[in-house]
Amino acid sequence: MQKAVYPGSFDPVTYGHLDIIERASFLFDEVIVGVIANPRKIPAFTMEERKEMLEKVTKKFKNVKIELFSGLLVDFVKSQGARVIIRGLRAISDFEYEMQLAFTNRSLAHDVETMFLLTNMNYAYINSGLVKEIASLGGRLEDLVPEEIIPYLKKRFPKE
């Protein structure tokens, strides 16, 4: 059974993330979406909220599960019985950071591979930061995140 881990902050999950999850779920027997507990930036949503949002939008994929993790990614990957890390690539701007991350993880664990899935062109411009900015300004979110996520954003960024 081939398992893959898709790690990220998912603060919150966007259509870009969901597209990567869907495509990974066709390629692997099981996809574990790993919500990072200790992101570099202070998140807008708690780990539990981020997990809950991911669970709502991935309900339809039977081989996808959501887990929270802290500590080293490669340790989490091994604890899940997986050998593959999935990351999404949007633009060249993602590449340098992603390459550094992949090399670091390879040096920490030679038996764990990183695989990149190229973004769906329609979602290439979407990131969680942009979503939060639009939400805080009261803009239209329908093209950026699944509808289940909108109430969470409205609650977190209420209109003045």
Interface residues toward ligand ADP, by CB under 6 A: 8-10, 14, 16-17, 20, 39, 87-88, 90, 94, 119, 123, 126-128
End-to-end CA, the chain: 50
Which of 51, 87, 90, 132 is labelled catalytic?
90
Q: For this structure, is 93 an active site residue?
A: no
Nearer to ligand ADP, 94 or 148 (CB): 94
Q: How far apart are CA 112 and CA 93, in angstroms?
A: 24
For the bound state, the minimum distance from the C-beta of residue 45 to ligand ADP, rounded and expressed in Å, comes to 11
Q: For this structure, is 132 an active site residue?
A: no
Q: Taking CB positions, which residue lies at the least distance from ligand ADP? A: 16
Q: For this structure, is 128 an active site residue?
A: yes
C-alpha dihedral, 135 to 136 to 140 to 144, nearest 10°:
-30
Contacts of 111 (CB under 8 A, 6+ apart): 83
Nearer to ligand ADP, 39 or 109 (CB): 39
Q: Is the peptide bond between 12 and the residue preceding it cis, with omega within 30 degrees of 0? A: yes
Positions annotated as catalytic residues are: 17, 41, 90, 128
